[in-house]
Structure 1
Amino acid sequence: VVYQRIGNIPGVRSASIVSGRNFFSGSGSSYGLGFVLLDSFEERDADSLSSEAITQKMFMRTAGIADAKIIFFTPPSVPGFGASDGFEVRLLDRTARDIRDLDQVATEFSGVLSQRPEISYANNSFSTTFPQLMMEVNIPKAKEAGVPVSDILSAMQGYIGGFYAADFSRFGKQFRVFVQSKPEDREEADDLNSIFVRNTQGEMAPISEFVSLERTYGPQTIGRFNLFNNVTLNGGAAPGYSSGDAIRAIQEEAEKLPADYDIAFSGITREEIASAGQAGIIFALSILFVYFFLAAQYESYVLPLAVLLSLPIGVAGAYASISLMGLENNIYFQIALIMLLGLLAKNAILIVEFARQRRQHGLSITEAAVEGARVRLRPILMTSFAFILGLLPLALANGVGAVGNRSIGTGAVGGLLVGTVIGVFVIPVLFIVFQYLQEKVSSKPAVIHSNETKPNV
């Protein structure tokens, strides 16, 4: 049914469905998983054929299937960190209450998250309504017949559940041997009459004499995280929102949970939160080292501020560019910001250094600033626009890794363009202000005469 509904979506090449297992909860008779192959990127050049758009269409096509919970997701960006690309959060029961209460809270929590605009979907694969059979061993009767309880459990494990027995080598390969009865011999409860166990007298007795089955309902598996019973919730951010926005929405809703419940992030979401505070430290260290280098070069603690205070213009342009293009503030954009700081500082250093030299040759502060901007305008424009043109392929990238390439290219292009165009007017003004303050706190720089000046006779 699922394949019939998604197979004719434009951009979908094929799909394969496997029963008995899923990505989040492992194996189970009520689980299933599938792999959907899309057409190549060359054939999906339109925005309506992107993986995000196709995923939304598949959600819409399968929303009417009431007998199953069906979600579609892309693989994790970093293999090994979680089962899907998106957030992974654990709902923890800190007081070990009834497992049905945990199921109810998890269902309500995932429903609340799905209503948030920052979250595209939130899935909870945990359920206490799986049909099961509870086995009860009549221990007094087994002891009376001389049948150890451990033998009864071992026989049930071998015939029904199966277990690993041995290895054997053949045809140059090693094969593993598993013991288990055939599926048709373990379908009904009456099949227990065909399973026998040996007592202490060496006689065989049907295992159904000591075992009774009761139909019940319960969870397929019960997971534990940090020693607490937990339910794993997976989901993804809605279009136009970043993973950080989705994490903040989860944290806001988690504050409304009952007192006995809490959340803990896992997978790549946990790593993202752990490294979230490092970006500010890296930027602060970058600016601090630039300040120290410039202070040593200019022999001043004031004049480097003319360079540093020109950087926010380009940074603001970078944020505005990714906002206009609908991109996220991700790790790729943060790499572009660090690169952008060096490029913008280079432009400011060219103007400030030349203006400083003109000031030492006797020009006024204003004349030196204007002369520095005029003389250095051509090399600044040439290097900046050459770099911008070189980054256009990244900003207009398609195919594998297009989002990361666009984040780097768009952030660097937009920031450098705005910082260059506006900076050539702002940097001279900053030089005038801080050079004036420098001369207020220290003496006026000595005038350096040109060697071409003729000596007086």
Structure 2
Amino acid sequence: EALHKILLYGQAGEHIPLGQVARFEQTEGPSTITREWGKRRVVVQCNVRGRDIDSFIGEVRAKLEKEVLLETGYFIRYGGQFENLERARTRLMIVVPIALMMIFGLLYLSFKSIRDALLIFSGVPLAAVGGVFALVIRAMPFSISAGVGFIALSGIAVLNGLVLVSAIRNLVKQGNGIDVAIKLGGLQRLRPVIMTALVASLGFVPMAMSNGVGAEVQRPLATVVIGGIITSTILTLLVLPVLYKRWGTRYHSVEDS
């Protein structure tokens, strides 16, 4: 009744009760209406536990596309952590190539040789294989923290190769043959390479085994680094000398002559 008695001003300035120009009905409706960019929206929230968000959203999408028929003007948008994940993934696709190009550029500036820079840079793919293999063993999906781990892993892999190739180059410049230089360089740099690998691996073990707050971020990163360091160390000590003998000899022989 109070609503009916609300007075409105007519065109001539007279007072008109609202009940004369409007009809009131008591019906059921939404308690609140939220809008975004001028459009109505309904928010459905959930918490994901025990699995990654990416695969969860993929499963939800597949079921909704199969079971829900949207009318014209309706659409579904996934936000929250998944939206942040998509943004971070886009940025990561830009950061990773830039980081790899910077690493290769620094290697070239150090050696003034594209061939030697490529030989050392070959440690990055093999280290990445180890990181992927470690994620598969632990049944972990690729995430943003895992991507950051791959970037960190690239630096560690290149560092070990840089230490070994620098020693071999110095021995060749001193007049040693390539076979002798590779053998002596491997012996001289065996301890530094292994120490670097052990320190980095052992330092990431607590993160890889973490179950506390932030473990969902720490575990993928540490797993990638540990797995990649193992394969990177194998490359540095066993494969890189063979590659250097095959493709590094010609460069030094021309330089010496």
For CA contacts below 8 A with separation 6 or more, give which structure has more relative contact order.
2
- SS in structure 1 at match of 2:44: strand
Which is greater in Rg?
1
Q: Which position in structure 2 is the counterpart of 1:226?
A: 37
Q: Deviations over 1:295-323 (max 9, x none)?
A: 12211122100111111112221222233
1:280 and 2:93 are equivalent in the alignment = yes
- SS in structure 2 at match of 1:419: helix
TM-score of the pair, normalised by structure 2: 0.79
* Cα distance change, pair 314–257 in 1 and its aligned pair in 2 (3 A): farther
- SS in structure 2 at match of 1:261: coil
Letter matched to residue 256 of structure 2:
A
Q: Choose the corresponding residue for 1:307, options 120, 142, 166.
A: 120
* Cα distance change, pair 137–249 in 1 and its aligned pair in 2 (3 A): same
Distance 2:193 2:95 in 1: 27
Q: Is the 8 A contact 1:317 1:414 kept in 2?
A: yes
Q: Deviations over 1:349-369 (max 9, x none)?
A: 111111222232344444433
1:398 and 2:211 are equivalent in the alignment = yes
Letter matched to residue 106 of structure 2:
F
Q: Which position in structure 1 is the counterpart of 2:247?
A: 434
- SS in structure 2 at match of 1:224: strand
Q: Is the 8 A contact 2:135 2:220 kept in 1?
A: yes
Distance 1:353 1:337 in 2: 24
1:148 and 2:7 are equivalent in the alignment = yes
Q: Which position in structure 2 is the counterpart of 1:329?
A: 142
Q: Which position in structure 2 is the counterpart of 1:316?
A: 129
Q: Deviations over 1:22-79 (max 9, x none)?
A: xxxxxxxxxxxxxxxxxxxxxxxxxxxxxxxxxxxxxxxxxxxxxxxxxxxxxxxxxx
CA deviation after TM superposition for structure 1 residue 280, in Å: 2.4
Q: Is the 8 A contact 2:123 2:235 kept in 1?
A: no
Distance 2:70 2:241 in 1: 56
CA RMSD of aligned residues (A): 3.5
Q: Is the 8 A contact 1:236 1:243 kept in 2?
A: no
* Cα distance change, pair 390–274 in 1 and its aligned pair in 2 (3 A): closer
1:413 and 2:226 are equivalent in the alignment = yes
Letter matched to residue 7 of structure 2:
P
1:249-268 matched pairs, under 5 angstroms: 249=59, 257=70, 260-268=73-81
Distance 2:152 2:180 in 1: 32
* Cα distance change, pair 369–243 in 1 and its aligned pair in 2 (3 A): farther
More helix, by proportion: 2
Letter matched to residue 291 of structure 1:
F
Q: Which position in structure 2 is the counterpart of 1:66?
A: none
Deviates more, 1:378-387 or 1:323-332: 323-332
Aligned residues: 248
More strand, by proportion: 1
1:203-214 matched pairs, under 5 angstroms: 214=25
Letter matched to residue 304 of structure 1:
A
Q: Which position in structure 1 is the counterpart of 2:12?
A: none
Deviates more, 1:244-253 or 1:327-336: 244-253
CA deviation after TM superposition for structure 1 residue 336, in Å: 2.2
* Cα distance change, pair 434–237 in 1 and its aligned pair in 2 (3 A): farther
- SS in structure 1 at match of 2:42: strand
Distance 2:2 2:27 in 1: 12
Give unmatched runs, 5+ long, in structure 2: 10-14
CA deviation after TM superposition for structure 1 residue 437, in Å: 6.0
CA deviation after TM superposition for structure 1 residue 379, in Å: 1.4
TM-score of the pair, normalised by structure 1: 0.47
Q: Is the 8 A contact 2:126 2:231 kept in 1?
A: yes
Q: Is the 8 A contact 1:136 1:213 kept in 2?
A: no
Distance 2:221 2:254 in 1: 44
Give unmatched runs, 5+ long, in structure 1: 1-134, 151-199, 201-206, 448-457
The percentage of aligned residue pairs carrying the same residue is 22
1:31-46 matched pairs, under 5 angstroms: none
Q: Is the 8 A contact 2:120 2:161 kept in 1?
A: yes
